[in-house]
Each structure stands twice: as structure tokens, then as C-alpha cells.
Structure 1
């Protein structure tokens, strides 16, 4: 018997005879997502609370805003991101530009499911700079609505600001587990 099988057998024995209990799932899902602009602005505010740099622009201005944000940076662009140009590979890039699967207004969280234009985990966590483009129609009010949009079989990266950690003295260090700088363009 493997260690895994042994652990599962112990758990099974421990819960044997326990009554089935229905777990209430009364999540708030009645929030309206009708006012896309208000939802996008709440999302932008909450993302900004995490020390990310946020730009809210009309959808038509997103390409120009991407160019303005990137300047002279050498940027890696994952397969499927809708842009033209000669892009460097990950080893020589200063950063990465991606789209996302969903944005959560209430928490200011960006979720990547690593579909087209979102890159792999390595492509989004190794560079020191991450520019993420979020469309207003990708923003949902809360976590339950985000979960409903996501495919649980896909890998997911949940981003709440630039990578940061603190030691026992509470000294904040950024860039340890991912990009030190997160810049977000919200197209409304």
C-alpha cells in the first residue's frame, strides 16, 4: 500500500459512520454586472490598492496605452496575444504582456487560466514586469461569479498586485515570487 493509499484509508476509517451533512452554498451571486463601467472602475480601484499601476481607458485606446506603457522595454508576448511586432524571447525580455481570463471587482484580483494570450505560469511569473490587459466584459462582481466562469481543469494563477512577501520583522520585499511591477490596463 502506498503512502497515499494509507492516508486515504485512515481518513475513510475516521469518517466511517458520520452522517451526511449538506453544506450550505449561499454565496452572494445576486450582484448586478449590468453597469460595466462602474464594475470596471471598482476593479481598477481595488487593483490599485495592491500597489499596481492602473490605467482605465476606452477600449479603442487600449493598443495606444499598451505602447505607452511598454515604451522601450523588451517585452515577451505569449502565443495568442493579439499584437504585431518583433518580440524578444523570455530569456531576454524585461517583462511580459498578457490578457486574462477574468477580473474580480470586489477583490481586485486578476485570474489567468493560461489560455491564448495569457502565457504559461513561467512566462507570467519569471519576468520582473507584467502588463495585463483586462476588458470590461471580463470583470465580474465577486469570487463566486469568477469561479462560475473558470474551467477547474485548467491551471490558474490568481494575481492580487505585484509579488510581495514579508519576513518576521514585517519588512516587505517585492519580486520574490513573481513580477515586482504589475501594470494593468482596463479597457472600458
Structure 2
């Protein structure tokens, strides 16, 4: 038995009759009551305020918009599970630029640093805070692919937009690797000068797709 196991066993024994977490009153607001249009409008407002690019399209407009956003990219990376139809126009316009990151063949940090953009889906978005959440699903891939390239193009479906955080949390699996994105990567130095791209992409484009 390892020391770690021994310590954890002692803690479990000591807490057996005294739950470590007391019952928490759930008196906060759990539902926004917003319509789909209100959620989209609020999310767009928040993302624009965060200096992200935002486009609202229907299904037919998704592939052309992604192709437009990738027009100046010499190369881009996508997770292995992405919907190929999203990239049809980009591939037709300039084939051979796409790199695929797969679980059994992950790109190195150096390879990711050499690509100009990344295209992913998303799990849930929170309209009130302008936050997009990735959970590592097949159409989102590893966290690294959304942190290293300088331009992130993220697809958000209207059905995945929650009004407030409690609504979003009910849709998430807390055991998955969650990445929370609120605009392009930015921070401020001691003199409050905004610096972009410190811990992620300097450019974020969100494509919201209406059902």
C-alpha cells in the first residue's frame, strides 16, 4: 500500500459519519427564461464586446463563411472528428492546407505553432457571459489545438447556447477536459496595457449556426 492510498483511506474512515460537503441551498436562478433569439442576440453582444468576430448564418452559409475566414491562412488544423462538410468550400478553394490532429497521431507543439488557424465545434455557450465551452468531443479535439494557433474559428450551434451559467452546467460532464473561452486571449500588464495572444489565440471568430 502506498502512502497516498493510506492517507486517503484514513480520510475516508474519519469522514464516514460526517459528509465532507454539507447540503448546499440552491436558491440562485437556474433558468434564464430567454428565447432562442434573445440568447443569440446576447451572446453576439458579449462576444463583440470581447473583440471577437461574430457571424450568424444558416446551415447553408456555414461552409462558405469558414472558407472566407480561412482565405488568408496558408495552413490550418482541425480535430479528426470535425464534420467534413464544414470545410468543403475551403478545401475546394485551396486544397492541401488542412492538417488533421487525431488521438493516435497528434501534432507536435512545433507543428501546431506552424499553422495559421484552427477550426473546431463547441459544446455549450453561455450568452450572459459570452463564454464558449469546449469539452474535448471529437469535433473539438485536444485543448492544445485551440491554444497554440493564432486564429481560432469556432462553430456554435443555436441549440447549444444557454442563457445563464447554471443552464450550461447542467449540459456539461465535469469529468471531461473543459476549456472556457471568453473572447480572444488577452491580459493586461501592470500599467493596464492590453496584451493579446499571451495564453491562446489573438484572434477569435465565432460562427453561430441557426437550426
Query: TM-score, normalising length from structure 2?
Result: 0.77
Name the SS of the counterpart of 1:77 in structure 2: strand
SS of residue paired to 1:130 = strand
Counterparts of 1:42 and 1:49, CA distance in 2: 11
How far 1:117 moved relative to its partner? 1.0
What secondary structure, in the 3-state scheme, does the structure 1 residue paired with 2:61 have?
A: helix
Structure 1 window deviating more from structure 2 (66-75 vs 176-185): it is 66-75
1:111-130 matched pairs, under 5 angstroms: 111-130=133-152
Separation (CA, whole Å) in 1 of partners of 2:144 and 2:30: 33
After superposition, the C-alpha distances for 1:82-125 in whole angstroms (9 at most, x for unaligned) are: 12544135523101010000011111000000101102111110
Kept in 2, the 8 Å contact 1:135–1:186? The answer is: yes
SS in 1 for 2:145: helix
| Partner Cα separation in structure 2 for residue 65 and residue 88 of structure 1 | 19
Matches within 5 A, 1:54-65: 54-65=54-65
User: Which stretch of the first structure deviates more once superposed, 20-29 or 55-64?
Assistant: 20-29
CA contact (8 A) 2:31 2:163 kept: no
Relative to structure 1, the CA distance from residue 30 to residue 17 in structure 2 (aligned partners, 3 Å threshold; closer, same or farther) is closer
Task: After TM superposition, give the deviation of residue 141 of structure 1 in Å.
Answer: 0.5
Consecutive unaligned residues of structure 2, counting only runs of 5 or more, are 101-106
Q: Against the structure 1 CA distance between its residues 21 and 117, is the aligned structure 2 distance closer, same or farther, given a 3 Å change threshold?
A: closer
Give the TM-score normalised by the residue count of structure 1.
0.85
In structure 1, runs of 5+ residues without a counterpart are none
2:206 counterpart residue number: 184
Match of 1:77 in 2: 78
Question: Do residues 40 (structure 1) and 62 (structure 2) align?
Answer: no
Question: CA–CA distance in 1 between the matches of 2:120 and 2:22?
Answer: 42
Give RMSD over aligned pairs: 2.5
Local SS of the residue matching 2:170: helix
Name 1:88's counterpart in structure 2: 99
